[in-house]
Amino acid sequence: MGDWVAFWNSQNPIYVNARHRDVHYRKVAQDIRGYVPAGAAVLDYGCGDALHAERITEVARTLILSDAAPNVRAGLLQRFADNPKIAICSSEDVAALPAGSLDVIVMHSVAQYLSSRDADEVFVLFRRLLKPHGLFVLGDVVSPDVSTVTDAFALLRFATSNGFMAAALLGLIRTLVSDYGRLRARLGLARYKDSEIVQKLAAAGFSATRAPRNIGHNQARATFLARPL
């Protein structure tokens, strides 16, 4: 995980331009908001830049944004300094939260960068932090059948519908030769069949089902909805 944290902590080419970055985070925030009941205490774990997190606070009582990368957290602190509903936390801060203090936990596009053991530990932590009737939303789970080519076509479809197709084509080439491409080739991504991720969540104390749609633009990946047993 340390290599991936270092990557996200640096300037990187994962978003092909400002338009891509904006519409990506807008779509993610809109989708997360759909899982948040009014007045909920919410944790977005591994949130990234979370450009449109204020959309979630329109319904949530509080929103904790947590990211392992210090530079990302610094940007979040600056971006949301005037929003009293938003708190910025490290992974260590999250681990110290009181048991049963959260209504909704979201971890989107993070599981693929965690080892199996690290994922197990995070799931157990989330089970402790959730209220008995809370919800854990696990987004962007990559199955063994999803390839780099599948991800590329998903990006191109998203780019076509959002007006950054030319930049996306150039960005895909740039990404292949970037640190991301080298890290993905060397470390790979954690991949799970539906039955495997449901089993891992059950071992942590959750009952999980696959959602009809994935959070974000890539519908070849999956979101799972998990509730405490």
Task: Compute the distance between CA of residue 206 and CA of residue 133 in angstroms, rounded to an integer.
Answer: 11
Q: What is the pLDDT of residue 148?
A: 85
Look at phi and psi of residue 27 and say left if phi exceeds 0, alpha if psi is from -120 to 50, else beta. alpha
Q: What is the pLDDT of residue 185?
A: 67
- The domain covering 2-228 belongs, at the CATH homologous superfamily level, to Vaccinia Virus protein VP39 (3.40.50.150)
Q: How far does Cα 91 stand from its chain's mean position? A: 14
> How does DSSP assign 200-225, residue by residue?
HHHHTTEEEEE-SS-SSS-TTSEEEE
Q: What is the pLDDT of residue 55?
A: 97
Q: In percent, how much of the chain has pLDDT > 90? A: 81
Which has the higher per-residue pLDDT, 110 or 15? 110
Q: What is the pLDDT of residue 181?
A: 64
pLDDT band at 32; cut points 50, 70, 90 = very high
How many Cα atoms occupy the beta-carbon half-sphere of 148 within 13 Å? Answer: 11
Asked which of 50-59, 113-122, 145-154, 211-220 is least confident by mean pLDDT, the reply is 145-154
Q: What angle do CA 188, 191, 195 make, to 5 degrees?
A: 165
Asked which of 78-87, 124-133, 141-150, 172-181 is least confident by mean pLDDT, the reply is 172-181
> How does DSSP assign 106-152, residue by residue?
EEES-GGGS-HHHHHHHHHHHHHHEEEEEEEEEEEEPPTT--HHHHH
Q: What is the mean pLDDT of the chain?
A: 93
Q: How far does Cα 130 stand from its chain's mean position? A: 18
Distances (CA, A) of 196 to 33, 193, 201: 27, 5, 9
Q: In percent, how much of the chain has pLDDT > 70? A: 94
Domain ranges of the chain: 2-228
pLDDT at 96 over 90: yes
pLDDT at 214 over 80: yes
Q: What is the mean pLDDT of residues 172-187?
A: 70
Task: Compute the distance between CA of residue 159 and CA of residue 162 in angstroms, rounded to an integer.
Answer: 5
Q: What angle do CA 146, 141, 169 make, to 5 degrees?
A: 50
2-22 confidence digits (pLDDT tens)? 687 887 888 777 888 999 999
pLDDT at 184 over 90: no
Instruction: Please return the burial class of 176, using the count of CB atoms within 10 Å of its CB with bins 0-12, 13-18 and 19+.
Output: middle
